[in-house]
Structure 1
Amino acid sequence: MAITIKDVAKFANVAPSTVSRVIADNPRISEKTKKRVREAMEELGYHPNFIARSLASQSTEVIGLVMPGSADKTFQNPFFSNILRGLSESAHEKNYALQMTTGKTVDEIYENVVHMVQGGRVDGLVLLNSRADDKIMEYLRKRDFPFVVIGKPYMHEEEITHVDNDNFRASKEATEYLLELGHESIAFIGGDLSLVVTIDRLLGYEKALRIAGIELNNQYVIHEEFLREGGREAISELLKLSDHPTALVVADDLMALGVLNTLAELNISVPEDISIVSFNNVLFAEVANPQLTSVDINIFTLGYEAAKNLILKINNPNEPVKRIIIPHKLIIRESSAKKH
Structure 2
Amino acid sequence: MAVTIKDVAKIANVAPSTVSRVIANSSRISEKTKKRVREVMDELGYHPNFIARSLASHSTRAIGLVMPSSSDAVFQNPFFPTVLTGLSEGAHAKQYALHMTTGKTDDEIYDGVVAMVQGGRVDGVVLLYSKVEDRVISYLKKRDFPFFVIGKPFKDDENINYVDNDNFKAGKEVTEHLIQLGHDRIAFIGGNLDLVVTVERIEGYEKALRNSGIKLVDEYIINDEFLQESGQDAVEVLLSLDQPPSALVVADDLMALGVLNKLDEMGIEVPKDISIVSFNNVLIAEMARPPLTSVNINIFDLGFQAAKNLIQKIENPEEPIKRIIVPFNIVTRYSCDRPKESLV
User: Into which bin does the TM-score normalised by the smaller protein fall?
Assistant: over 0.9
1:256 maps to amino acid: A
Q: CA deviation at 1:187?
A: 0.3
- Tell me, yes or no, if structure 1 residue 125 matches structure 2 residue 125: yes
Q: Give secondary structure in 2 for the equivalent of 1:99.
A: strand
Mapped to 2, the partners of 1:202 and 1:29 lie a distance apart of 50
Q: How does 1:219-230 map to 2 (within 5 A)?
A: 219-230=219-230
8 Å CA contact 2:73–2:225 kept in 1: the answer is: no
Structure 1: gaps of 5 or more residues:
none
Q: Give secondary structure in 2 for the equivalent of 1:248.
A: strand
Q: Which residue of 1 aligns with 2:290?
A: 290
Mapped to 2, the partners of 1:270 and 1:286 lie a distance apart of 15
1:174-211 Cα offsets, whole Å, 9 max, x none, are: 00000011100000001000100001000000000000
Q: Which residue of 1 aligns with 2:164?
A: 164
1:216-273 Cα offsets, whole Å, 9 max, x none, are: 0000000010000110111111011010000000000000000000000000011111
8 Å CA contact 1:224–1:233 kept in 2: the answer is: no
- Tell me, yes or no, if structure 1 residue 91 matches structure 2 residue 91: yes
Mapped to 2, the partners of 1:207 and 1:73 lie a distance apart of 28
Q: CA deviation at 1:146?
A: 0.4
Q: CA deviation at 1:319?
A: 0.7
Q: Which residue of 1 aligns with 2:40?
A: 40
8 Å CA contact 1:190–1:224 kept in 2: the answer is: yes
Q: CA deviation at 1:73?
A: 3.3
Q: CA deviation at 1:64?
A: 0.5
Q: How does 1:292-331 map to 2 (within 5 A)?
A: 292-331=292-331
2:181 maps to amino acid: L
Q: Which residue of 2 aligns with 1:136?
A: 136
- Tell me, yes or no, if structure 1 residue 259 matches structure 2 residue 250: no
1:120 maps to amino acid: G
Q: How does 1:1-340 map to 2 (within 5 A)?
A: 1-340=1-340
8 Å CA contact 2:293–2:332 kept in 1: the answer is: yes
Mapped to 1, the partners of 2:11 and 2:280 lie a distance apart of 49
Mapped to 2, the partners of 1:187 and 1:70 lie a distance apart of 25
Q: Give secondary structure in 1 for the equivalent of 2:63.
A: strand
Structure 2: gaps of 5 or more residues:
none
Q: CA deviation at 1:11?
A: 1.3
Q: Give secondary structure in 2 for the equivalent of 1:153.
A: coil
- Worse-matched range after superposition: 36-45 or 138-147: 36-45
Mapped to 1, the partners of 2:14 and 2:2 lie a distance apart of 19
8 Å CA contact 1:174–1:249 kept in 2: the answer is: yes
Mapped to 2, the partners of 1:143 and 1:333 lie a distance apart of 47
Q: CA deviation at 1:71?
A: 3.1
The count of residues paired between Structure 1 and Structure 2 equals: 340
Name the Cα RMSD after superposition: 0.8
Q: Give secondary structure in 2 for the equivalent of 1:213.
A: coil
Mapped to 2, the partners of 1:206 and 1:30 lie a distance apart of 54
Mapped to 2, the partners of 1:230 and 1:38 lie a distance apart of 51
1:272-326 Cα offsets, whole Å, 9 max, x none, are: 1110000000011101111010000000000000000110011011111011000
